[in-house]
Amino acid sequence: MPNTEIITKLLARHDTWRGQSQKPIQRSVSSGQDEIDRLLKGGWPAASLTELLVQRPGIGELSLLLPTIKYYCQNNHLSVWLDPPYQPHAPALATAGIALQKVLIVQSKTHREWLWVAEQCIRNNALLLAWSERKAPSYTDLRKLQLAAADSGHVAFLFASSKQLPASSPAALRLEIDSVDEKNLRLCVRKLRSMAPGEQLLIPRGKNLGPQTSLAKLPVNNIHPQMPASTDIPRIKTAEQRLNA
Amino acid sequence: MTLPTAAPAKSAYPEKIWLYLHFPLLPLDALLDDLKDQQQHQNPVAVICQEKNILRVLCCNNSAKQSGVEPLLSLSTALALCPDLLTMRQQLEREKNAMQQLALIAYSFSPGVIIAEQGLWLELSGCEKLFHNYTQLLQKLHQALLLQSTNVDMGIAGSADAARLLCRSGFRCELPSSAELEQQLKLTPLSQLNTSRRQQQSFYQLGLTCLGDLLALTRTDLASRFGTGIVEQLQLLLGEKPCQMARFEPPATFHDLLQNPQGIFSKQGLLFPMKTLLQRLSLYLQARQCYCRALEWRFEPLLGEPSSMHVTLSGSQNSWSNLLDLSRLQLERIDLPASIETIILSSDNFVDGIPSGVDLFGTALLGTALAEEESSEAAQLMDSLRARLGPDALWQPALGRNYFPEEAGTVVVPGERQQLRTAHRGLQPLWLLPKPIAIQIRHQQLFWRQPLHILSGPQRLCDNWWQNNQQRDYYLACDNQGSRYWLFKQSDTGRWFVHGLFS
């Protein structure tokens, strides 16, 4: 008689591949937005490395992670930003609800130091956000980080440029982010464990634009060709309009 | 019906149990580190000191004793008896250090420790509960002491002076009964008491040879005959008067060193002495119940400049293995002189330990326990990163007091607390360029790597007018592919700059 207990345990493990099954068998951390959770079948995969490949840095990839960072900081974990390209702006983080004492920015000087810091952070239960400008990490480096993440059971994020897409990588999730036009950001799943690649999602950018002035009055000629003129503030010409406004 | 059996008689000691430990080979043990070879321990070794222009043997080890060398022999006699005797000069400083180490070890067993010339007193009456019974206490004490010193003699009695009088060689782990003690006390010869020669002579003339004879006389007679000094001594001996000597307290700072005359040439070889020093530090921290915040290592070579290394801690770790890891990480970054002779560890920056919380009903506060564990993990991570990369590689974002973005979002050394929080309204970019970059205007279009289009309108920020008369209008702009930028226009010069990126 087959031993069902062992088989059940095996099937419950997160690294057993079940062909044709649509049910997600891996634990995941919610990303804070429902559409992304649906795209990734639950959220960012826990206990593994996630690679975010961006077409150009600064198109909106970090704001996708803000809810996850907030969740980790609330649960008393450090979030380590390794070699960020620019300086993180404290008021923006404070507005997003992230405790600033839990954010640590680390600058490394050599590639070996970068790798050491990344591995230490993952093994010590900190949330890692790593940028690698100096030298793209090789397959062995990524495998080391993936194993560290699997041991500690947390998520870790690595930012790279889309040129790294053809290189193979052991990360559990590879998400390509690029901007189709100014209105939308496109996420394309290039690799996700137990799922066929290729699914896409369009995320509209934030509509919150701040206080506006009449764009026609700007000192520089800059009305975007795609923005309709009706979004401009109406001009008050007659006394009646002034009274009614 | 059976009568309940009588409870076993409690220890018949009135209040106190005093243990006297005598270290006959203390001068030798203090210099033991110099003998690196195990074989050298088997060879005859003696410590010599100078007394009125004659060098005499102070103490010697067993193999020297077998050749006939004894304490108080002159050096020439000793060398004649044993030609290959290794002699070392007595070093009082190192003896004192060794005694401090032994006192610290004893302090972890009992709170009442008093240091004598070549011995220690411990007061054990309150320590039974911790160790379940005195036998276990004595066994553990013996094991701990053997790590530091080769030979320990002990004596137990109801008072400090009696314990010293009854000190015999060898270490026994059983408490003697009070009847035995009384017997032994009575048989102690009077020459061992601390009395003048005249008094000793009068004892002899009166036919008093041992303490029992003295105790048989009445106190008033003794006082009138020999003075009140004798009566006081008897009272101290019998435990009628409490012991007035000053207790040992762990010193306020920690300073310890290890010497290696042959010199250490590699960083690998440094690790073992560093481990020994850190173990002593952790014993000291345990005795004082505090955590260490900063350590200083000094490596001194025979010739040349010493080099020092500071290890800063977040104050939450006490264990010597963590401290050794951090010191090792930092050691990789510094250059050491060629051959190191002395390693010094010192620390004076301590913070009191906070016991983990238990609330009124005895249940441990789970929340705080977990929070403490996790924040100590975070502190450990920061410590090891700081040790490996240097303190200038770690930063934390902090809110500033001004509205101007470069002051509103500064980066500071981690750990500094922010005092003020100004509320920032409006959009704030995630990435800030520390220095705003000027952008050009081409064909009446803003251009920075790509043509930029403004999306929303100005937010004016002014700095303190007495410091800086700048006024900036901030705009949100985007480019063809949709990345958003934060631009500003200086109102006095009319130039445009890029200040931040929305990501």
- The predicted-structure confidence for A5-17, as pLDDT tens digits, reads as follows 888 888 766 666 6
Indicate the residue of A105, A213, A222 with minimum beta-carbon distance to B411.
Answer: A105
Q: Measured between alpha carbons, how far is A132 from B396 in angstroms, rounded to an integer?
A: 20
Q: Measured between alpha carbons, how far is A150 from A156 in angstroms, rounded to an integer?
A: 10
Number of H helices, E strands in chain B: 17, 20
Tokens representing B341 are 């002779």
Q: B330, B374, B383, B385: best mutation site toward chain A, by most A Cβ within 10 Å?
A: B385
Check residue A118 and give its pLDDT.
Answer: 93
Q: Measured between alpha carbons, how far is B66 from B68 in angstroms, rounded to an integer?
A: 5
Check residue A219 and give its pLDDT.
Answer: 57
CATH code reported for the domain at A24-204: 3.40.50.300
- In chain A, where are the structural domains located? 24-204
Q: 3-class SS at A241?
A: helix
Q: Which residues, in sequence order, are CB contacts of B54 under 8 Å at separation 6+? A: B74, B75
Q: Can you state the percent helix, strand and coil of chain B, rounding each to 5?
A: 35, 30, 35
**DSSP secondary structure string for all residues of B125-154:** TT-HHHHSSHHHHHHHHHHHHHHH-S--EE
Check residue B84 and give its pLDDT.
Answer: 85
Contacting residues of A for B456, CB less than 8 Å apart: 209-212
What's the average model confidence in pLDDT over A180-205?
Answer: 79
Percent of chain B with pLDDT over 90: 1
Which chain A residues in 110-129 lie under 8 Å from chain B, judged by CB atoms? Answer: 113, 116-117, 120-121, 124-126
pLDDT tens track for B301-327: 888 888 888 888 776 666 888 889 888
- Residue of chain A whose alpha carbon sits nearest to that of B489: A219
Check residue A230 and give its pLDDT.
Answer: 47
This complex has an ipTM of: 0.75
pLDDT tens track for A44-53: 888 888 999 8
Question: Over 90: is that where the pLDDT of B245 sits?
Answer: no
Question: Which of B493, B492, B490 shows the shortest CA–CA distance to B475?
Answer: B490
Q: Is the distance from CB of A145 to CB of A117 less than 8 angstroms? A: no
What mean pLDDT, rounded, does chain B reach? 79
Contacting residues of B for A219, CB less than 8 Å apart: 489, 494
Contacting residues of A for B421, CB less than 8 Å apart: 94
Closest Cα in chain A, distance from residue B438 (Å) = 15
Contacting residues of A for B384, CB less than 8 Å apart: 120
Q: Is A216 on the interface with B (CB under 8 A)?
A: no
Prediction pTM value: 0.69
Asked if A76's CB is within 8 angstroms of B433's CB, the reply is: no
**Of residues B204 and A205, more confidently modeled:** B204
Tokens representing A35 are 């559409």
